[in-house]
Amino acid sequence: MGKMSVNLCGIELDNPVIPASGTFGFGYEFAELYDINMLGTFSFKGTTRDPRFGNPTPRIAETPNGMINAVGLQNPGVEKVISEELPKLKKCFNKPVMANVSGFSVEEYVYTCEKIDKCDQVGWIEVNISCPNVHGGGMAFGTTPEGAAEVTRAVKAVTTKPIIIKLSPNVTDIVSIAKACEEAGADGISLINTLLGMRIDLRTRKPVIANKMGGFSGSAIFPVAVRMVYQVAHAVKIPVIGMGGVSSAEDVIEMMLAGASAVEVGAANLIEPYACKNIIEDLPRVMEKYGIENLSDIIGGVR
């Protein structure tokens, strides 16, 4: 069998498959279905400084080959994540976990990252900079190189764990933003977050979800994600985690060829709870089919 292990920011993963934040809870929910220690790791539910109920319902809409969501970062807040959620996870997951952090001001990012950084269970901190900057007119931090760099510098100053900046695809030049994060000290980049989408109910002539617009994810966005991963991976020297519509072992290989060191699986988990398990178990077959002996060798190997 081929070698599936990869290195992500200095930490060895048994395989490159990582359930994406917001699609895998805090892990222990899926541990009731299968041994989640078979995963490379996973990124837990987006965590903010304060508890958040999230957006009003309805906040999910189905689309052909995808879905739109506007959950609104519902979570119990960083204090309870540390005191309640991580102890539950420790009972069923013995690997370093990826913490996903969101914020609405630089101060919030700093506070939450500094708290999470002290947790022994956490191996990496994935910083979602797609949140609206409440001090900047609602524009997301990740829409400009300056805003992205500001958050990166601020959280790097208070952390010791590898910082992975999660980028939004809703920009005109994702490469310049990725490079700004690298220059500001980021240890890795993950992309893409959801595209902005909308559905309208023909009978009521109103948006399907209460928030009107939401994050579009699922297999329909995979080609966009591959393109952006390729562009960023060839522009930076730090590791890239690819995500966006990944739903098969073949998709994982394609993302890695584009330049991803590891691959996150998102919406597929909401359709099939065993999606990541199935992908990991199928990887050896796909590796043999395409003559791959070591997954690490194919990173960025597109001709």
Give 125-154 as a 3 state SS string: EEEECCCECCCCCCCEHHHCHHHHHHHHHH
As a whole number of angstroms, the distance between CA 287 and CA 291 comes to: 6
pLDDT band at residue 137 under the 50/70/90 scheme: low
DSSP β-ladder status, 206-207 and 200-201: antiparallel
pLDDT band at residue 121 under the 50/70/90 scheme: very high
113 among known catalytic residues: no
Q: What percent of the chain has pLDDT over 90?
A: 93
**139 domain residue, yes or no:** yes
Task: Provide CB contacts within 8 A for 45, sequence distance 6+.
Answer: 21, 22, 24, 25, 26, 75, 100
Using omega within 30 degrees of 0 as the cis cutoff, is the peptide bond preceding 192 cis? Answer: yes
Strands in 66-69's sheet, in edge-to-edge order, are: 60-63, 66-69, 214-217, 195-197
Q: What is the pLDDT of residue 74?
A: 92
Q: What is the pLDDT of residue 161?
A: 98
3 state SS of 181: helix
**115 domain residue, yes or no:** yes
**191 domain residue, yes or no:** yes
Q: What is the pLDDT of residue 140?
A: 86
**Range from 117-121, 127-131, 186-190 carrying the lowest mean pLDDT:** 127-131
Closest CA relative to residue 259, chosen from 298, 295, 220: 298
Q: What is the pLDDT of residue 219?
A: 97
Q: What percent of the chain has pLDDT over 70?
A: 97
Closest CA relative to residue 256, chosen from 98, 10, 101, 40: 40
Return the CATH number at 46: 3.20.20.70
pLDDT higher at 97 or 70? 97
Q: What is the pLDDT of residue 54?
A: 87
Residue 171 has pLDDT above 80, yes or no: yes
Residue 52 has pLDDT above 70, yes or no: yes
**Range from 39-43, 132-136, 245-249 carrying the lowest mean pLDDT:** 132-136
pLDDT band at residue 303 under the 50/70/90 scheme: confident
As a whole number of angstroms, the distance between CA 3 and CA 224 comes to: 28
Answer yes or no: are the C-beta atoms of 188 and 242 closer than 8 Å: no
Q: What is the mean pLDDT of the chain?
A: 95
Residue 189 has pLDDT above 80, yes or no: yes
**264 domain residue, yes or no:** yes
Residue 134 has pLDDT above 90, yes or no: no
Q: What is the pLDDT of residue 128?
A: 96
**303 domain residue, yes or no:** no
Answer yes or no: are the C-beta atoms of 121 and 89 closer than 8 Å: yes
pLDDT band at residue 138 under the 50/70/90 scheme: low
Q: What is the pLDDT of residue 2?
A: 83
**179 domain residue, yes or no:** yes
Task: Provide CB contacts within 8 A for 236, sequence distance 6+.
Answer: 178, 179, 182, 189
Give Cα 156 distance to the centre of its chain.
Answer: 19
Structural domain boundaries, residue 151: 6-298
Give the count of domains, the chain. 1
| Burial class for 118, CB neighbours closer than 10 Å (0-12, 13-18, 19+) | exposed
**238 domain residue, yes or no:** yes
As a whole number of angstroms, the distance between CA 246 and CA 266 comes to: 7
Quick one: CA dihedral 234, 239, 242, 247, positive or negative? Answer: positive
pLDDT band at residue 153 under the 50/70/90 scheme: very high
**1 domain residue, yes or no:** no
pLDDT digits (tens, 9 = 90+) for 251-302: 999 999 999 999 999 999 999 999 999 999 999 999 999 999 999 999 999 9
Q: Which of 9, 113, 131, 181 is catalytic?
A: 131
pLDDT digits (tens, 9 = 90+) for 220-265: 999 999 999 999 999 999 999 999 999 999 999 999 999 999 999 9
- Which residues, in sequence order, are bridge partners of residue 101? 47, 127
